[in-house]
Amino acid sequence: MFSSFMTNAWIVATIVAPVAGVVGFFVVLRGAAFPAHAIPNSAFAGAAAANVFGFSALLGLGAFAAAAAFGIATLGRRGRNDAVTALILVLGLAIGAVFLSSSSEYEPQLYSLLFGEVLGVSTTELWPVAGLALGCIVATLFLYRPLLLASTVPDVAEARGVSRYGMELAFLLVLAAATAMTVPVVGALLIFSLMIGPPAAARALTDRPPLAIVLSVCIALVTVWVAIASSYQTNWPIGFFVGAFGAFDYGVGRVWAAGRRSRTVRKRGREGDAPIDPSMVMA
Amino acid sequence: MHWVFEPGFFSSEPVHVALVIGGIAAVVSAVVGVFTVLRGQSFAGHALTDVSTAGGSGALLVGISPLLGFVGFGLLGAGAMDAIGVQRVRGRDLATGIVLGAATGLAALFLFLDTTSGATTGATQQILFGSIFTLDPSEIPIVVVFSIVAVGMIAALYRPLLLASTDTDLAAARGVPVRLVALGFMAALAVAVGLSALAIGAILSTALLIGPAATALRLTNRIGAALVAAVVIGVGVTWLGVLLSYDSYYWVSDQNAVPVSSLIVGLVFVAYLLSGLPAIRRLTGRRTVMVVTEAEEARLRGQRVSSRAAVRSDGDSPRSRRVL
């Protein structure tokens, strides 16, 4: 499992997971699951183009992901955000299908681009991926306060001079960068699971944003590692395991949150009966 | 005529089948799509397409018609989303996403098993992107049955569905069983997605579902007119896509046709963009009406109306539509 041809897979997965965890936290907070699903799918067209015309996949992915982010933010500003998102998503997939239809290795390429190919990562791609990952995390930390404000109370944020459109566009562009680096690893369709499952679980575990982000990164790491190991053992596609474990994370989070709610209610009930402790009030 | 319809277009059997099945799928998708867009459930609609991808690839694995897999899994997915809380607005997006992610994982596994078992070559392409020219004419009866079921459900639910889609609270107050209506609608949606998956491929079927409907709702705010417009646009782009793909075989020297599904999606997107042009909006008189109603409604609800909000609203928010 740790033999030399697997080394790159482990390294890339370890780089990808923290990005998915950090960016995914805001995806869940903003309710931006649909754009988070649409951007990787549109980026698929870029990877297909790169395959056919022979330029770097990262470049193609980045260009199409950024175009999709821009399209969703701009067209969605006036009009139905979700309908526009859906249309941009299928447009990207359709363009990708046109590119790949002229390729001789249509079928295997299609599959690996959509569902991921961990073993397909070459050593030369590691550095750009690491650079982009660092860029995404730095950008998210840089945007942290205004983005948190705009995501939770958009009206207050706007009153304080945080532009709603600007924040949306900035966030979607970070999402696009994160997408560009993750598509070759887990595939266009399944980065999404990594961006939704672990952060959703983390948010169920804690209400404090910084702690939630850290937890989300940890859960994403474990999810991806277990997925690679399972994929190696069973020879089944990694995408299946990422999807299944992502849903599992979410399920655990839901159960935990339900348990926490009932615990809080019981605790409050007990505290209500007890006399108020003066030292607590002073503190 | 000759350079519009390349030789053999009207006498080719695959073209006939493609036009019939494509047309039926477009009609059903457009009708269901109008309500999907009205209800703001594009994401749920898209998630169902991914669920039916898993169904289609699973059907190939066990050797039954992909259509049965598309619709069967679609219904299961609709039930799952309802069960984990797609109805509540809070967390709905997340619940949809989780079902979607799990379903795509399953699709990845099924397609992997399809290709490694070697029973079917080209499974990934066939399920995901469709192959309308290779459909079996014997599929037509079952396609007709499914489409009658889906449109019939929408027709039976029409009034309560419309009320529940535009104002859930009002509908609940009037005694409409909102949850039941929503579940019935999701079932119709699953069938529509299955049909359109058969025509243009599972992961592209969102285009036929959302595109014509969103375009129509930008052109008119009367529900009847929107339904008619969506059907006309849907069938129009589908047939035009079939024609162009057929013709494209003769355009390029290497005799490699442009995939029909991609052409249809491209035409859908163009139609949507065109409907946003100011000239076309002025023609249908949609914009003025909506600005007034939205501002009025906000005032009725005692909300502060900022001039910016009034200008910005071009009638696409679900609130602004008063069809009752």
User: Is B178 a member of any domain?
Assistant: yes
Q: For residue B322, is it within any domain?
A: no
Domain-located, residue B101: yes
What's A190's domain CATH number? 1.10.3470.10
Question: Looking at the partner chain, which of A41, A83, A236 has a beta carbon nearest the beta carbon of B42?
Answer: A83
CB atoms within 10 A of CB B126: 20
Determine whether the interchain pair A197/B101 forms a contact, defined as Cβ–Cβ distance below 8 Å: yes
Would you call A82 an interface residue with chain B, using a CB distance cutoff of 8 Å? yes
| Cβ-defined contact of B124 to A111 (cutoff 8 Å) | yes
Structural domain span for residue B123 = 13-284
Question: Six-digit token pair at A254?
Answer: 């839901």
What total number of domains does chain A contain?
Answer: 1
Q: Do A91 and B266 meet the contact criterion of CB atoms below 8 Å apart? A: yes
Q: Region of A121 please: left (phi>0), alpha (psi -120 to 50) or beta.
A: beta
The Cα A100–Cα A110 span in angstroms is 7
Range of the domain at A105: 4-272
Task: Domain count for chain B, please give it.
Answer: 1
What number of C-beta contacts closer than 8 Å exist between A and B?
189
Closest approach of chain B CAs to the CA of A239, in angstroms?
5
The length of chain B is 324
Residue A43 in contact with partner chain B when CB distance is under 8 A? no
Distance (Å, whole) CA B9 – CA B5: 6
- Nearest Cα to A181, choosing from A140, A231, A135, A228? A135
Residue B313 lies in a domain: no
Q: Give a yes or no: residue A14 inside a domain.
A: yes
Give the C-alpha distances (Å, rounded to integers) separating B69 from B47, B127, B191.
Answer: 15, 11, 11
CA A74-B233-B49 angle, 5° bins: 70
Is A65 domain-assigned? Answer: yes
Within-domain flag for B218: yes
What does the pLDDT profile of chain B (324 residues) look like in tens digits? 555 666 666 777 788 888 888 899 999 999 999 999 988 888 888 888 888 888 888 888 888 888 888 888 989 888 888 777 655 556 778 888 888 888 888 888 888 887 777 655 666 777 777 777 777 788 888 889 999 999 999 999 888 888 888 887 888 888 888 888 888 898 999 999 888 888 888 778 889 999 999 999 888 888 889 999 999 999 999 999 888 888 777 766 555 667 888 888 899 999 998 888 776 766 665 544 444 445 445 544 554 444 444 433 444 444 444 433
Domain contains A277: no
From the list B262, B312, B317, the residue facing A98 with the nearest CB is B262
Q: Tell me whether residue B290 is in a domain.
A: no
Asked, for residue A281, whether it belongs to a domain, the answer is: no
Flag whether residue A188 sits within 8 Å of chain B, measured between CB atoms: no
Q: Classify residue B11 by its DSSP letter.
A: T
CATH number, domain with residue B25: 1.10.3470.10
Q: What local confidence, expressed as pLDDT, does residue B114 receive?
A: 78
